[in-house]
Structure 1
């Protein structure tokens, strides 16, 4: 088995298509920069594994060590939710915090609990949410599904996950919003020799990411944000 910490990540997973201008401006002009992570259990955290927002905060702070610059990543994840549930929290959990960057994690529960969600509704809600955020001085990154056994080893869920992937790609492309391709990233680990079983946390549902996978996803996300061509080297 290849350990996840030995995998070399392709550059395509460490860059974004669109510059993070508002995030950059906050780093250069504000003492405190806020990032809000909106999503489900991948964001909130599950099974005693530290979720990506706290890890991302640590990495962004380490990368911007100049005196007086503070970067906070606020965790606004709620387990079991999907875009139609989360959009009702945008005003209170996102806009009220006045972030310069929003990371919206979507898609997993639509594929995992597909009887509970209309894919058309999830797609439309994501589109409308991005239109809402586009009117604000904030950059947005959409994070897609995790590649774990609960979805990959169930044919019906796998087919729906791939459908959801296409929908997320279509919405973000049309909206001109950056997409963090977690699904393709984790899939590439398996192609590089990582066992699928190493990507989940070992709990019965085999849905949530393992400690190692969460750490690596956080690392690649931080690299993508810090590699933003519009971002300064430090604040």
Structure 2
């Protein structure tokens, strides 16, 4: 699927997987905590962990999640600093942009926080994947979400890190009637949210596999 082209390799993850141990840190706003799901195990970070272990049962995998409702890129950059000071990571999955778009915050502030955070991750020897805003018809109608998406694309390109285009992936699912949370009946919302999180985890896992394969292909 073209939308899951990572656009950059993840050599740190390739080395960690080869060594048999992978430490992943997930940071973001409320969506990393699995709101609306049937429970914590149904959130996409937990589902991603299960998918990785199912594919590589011998891998020693540690996945930590830090997030908060309304957290901006500046807030999550602070979470990164705290978590890296406590324990290193091989890969950081950094979700951002939705809160900024919804509040109409300055794009430049988000970009500055992302540059600083990604520089810190590089210095710490950690790989990173940026995750852009989630798709929402309401958000699209009431915010200039494209400005934040484009800024994230440019930051990812500048730092040579993969970008998971969550907005486009979710829009594709909604427009093809695959998963459309906004139009799901109220009594089906939890089940649809669980399915959405599972599909997001599968998509991120595919992107990670592609980025690791790119890294291995580039290794002499």
Shorter-chain TM-score tier: 0.7 to 0.9
Counterpart of 2:18 in 1: which secondary structure?
A: helix
**Does structure 2 retain, via aligned residues, the 8 Å contact 1:105–1:142?**
yes
Q: 1:149 to 1:212 in 2, by over 3 A?
A: farther
Q: 1:30-83 CA distances to partner (integer Å, 9 max, x unpaired)?
A: 4x32100011111122134432111110001111123xx211221112221010
Counterpart mapping for 1:212-231 below 5 A: 212-227=195-210, 228-229=212-213, 230=215
Matched, 1:15 2:19: no
Alignment of 1:186-225 (within 5 A): 186-194=170-178, 196-197=180-181, 210-225=193-208
Separation of aligned partners in 1, 2:118 and 2:183 = 29
TM-score, length basis structure 2: 0.85
* Distance in structure 1 (CA, Å) of the matches to 2:24 and 2:179: 32
Unaligned 5+ residue runs, structure 2? none
RMSD of aligned alpha carbons: 2.4
Give the Cα separation in 1 of the matches to 2:148 and 2:87.
Answer: 29
Matched, 1:44 2:33: yes
1:25 paired to 2:15? yes
Distance 2:216 2:102 in 1: 36
Output one character per residue of 1:206-230: Cα deviation in whole Å (capped at 9) or x when no partner: 9xx8222111111110111123313
2:129 aligned counterpart, secondary structure: strand
Counterpart CA distance in 2 for 1:200 and 1:87 is 34
* Within-5 A mapping of 1:1-235: 11-30=1-20, 32-49=21-38, 50-66=42-58, 69-114=59-104, 117-152=105-140, 155-157=141-143, 160-194=144-178, 196-197=180-181, 210-227=193-210, 228-229=212-213, 230=215
By percentage of residues, which structure has more helix? 2
Q: Could you tell me the TM-score, scaled by structure 1's length? A: 0.80
The count of corresponding residues between Structure 1 and Structure 2 is 209
Query: Counterparts of 1:27 and 1:226 in 2: how far apart (Å)?
Result: 11
Q: 1:176 to 1:112 in 2, by over 3 A?
A: same
